[in-house]
Amino acid sequence: MRVIIEPDYKKMSSNGAGIVAELVRKKPDCVLGLATGSTPIGLYNELVRMSRDEGLDFSRVTTFNLDEYYGLAPEHDQSYRYFMEKHLFAQLKTRPKKTHVPDGLAKDPEAYCELYEQMIRDACGIDLQVLGIGRDGHIGFNEPSSSLGSRTRLKTLTEETIHDNARFFASLDDVPRFAITMGVGTIFEARRCVLLASGVNKAKVVAQAVEGPVTAQVTASALQLHRDTIVIVDEDAACELDRRDYYKHVERMRAELVAGKKPALAAAATG
């Protein structure tokens, strides 16, 4: 696991967007896994800027979103399809058939979740999965106690998650109690994962996910076992990491290797 500590949210977002853009340039028909929530908005804004100002081409990219509230239509202003259209898809003018968000109105959720898994397999898997992290350590809607081998499924949301999301709805009663989400096992099959976290309110759970035990009680901790995970956090979110000085040292050494024109060695110096 590589841990990158940036001074602020803007730099964190720019760095994450740069990693996505590098993949799109190298592999124009890549498959991206995408997340919603406030954290990745800066990354999406930067990708839109790159598309507009630098000609970054998303026309051949396929996307799969992590999750969607169950019971919300795509047109609902709190659905994740609506979120993605607003913050990314519409501005990139991506083709609808290449953007996949779970169907919150699926009549047979179990069958639909199996279909979503098959669609990912048919696309030859996810090359890069963008992730955020919840205050209880969840990735996607894989709440505490979710199996670390879980697949896409209908998941009951915790009271903490429901209360956290209530600010986006007219009342607490309007917040969906269920979501369709990729499982931890599904996420784990992505060839690379990039997890973003910002703010002091995420500091404790970031420390648990990065330096704590691997446990189903903090599903993001499973990423410690992933073969290629990059965690990008701002200084506030990093403040409880015991080894933050070492993570910064690693990045300085990588930069020096690159500056010394030893890219192969720099690429090998991962966490």
2-240 is classed CATH 3.40.50.1360: yes
Vertex 198 angle, CA 56 and 68, to 5°: 70
* pLDDT > 60? residue 265: no
* pLDDT > 90? residue 271: no
Tokens 């996505």: give the residue: 20
How far is residue 66 from each of residues 10, 81, 102, 142, 265, measured CA to CA in Å? 23, 11, 8, 10, 34
Q: What percent of the chain has pLDDT over 70?
A: 96
The structural domains of the chain, with segments of one domain joined by +, span 2-240, 242-271
Catalytic residues: 67, 136, 138, 143
Q: Which of 12, 192, 186 is nearest to 100 (CA)?
A: 186
Question: Rg of the chain's alpha carbons, rounded to an integer?
Answer: 18
Q: Which two tokens stand for residue 200?
A: 């002091």
* pLDDT > 60? residue 263: no
pLDDT in tens, 190-232: 999 999 999 999 999 999 999 999 999 999 999 999 999 999 9
Question: What pLDDT does residue 267 have?
Answer: 59
More confident residue, 260 or 242: 242
Mean of all residue pLDDT scores within the chain: 94
Residue 60 near residue 89, CB atoms below 8 Å: no
The pTM score is 0.93
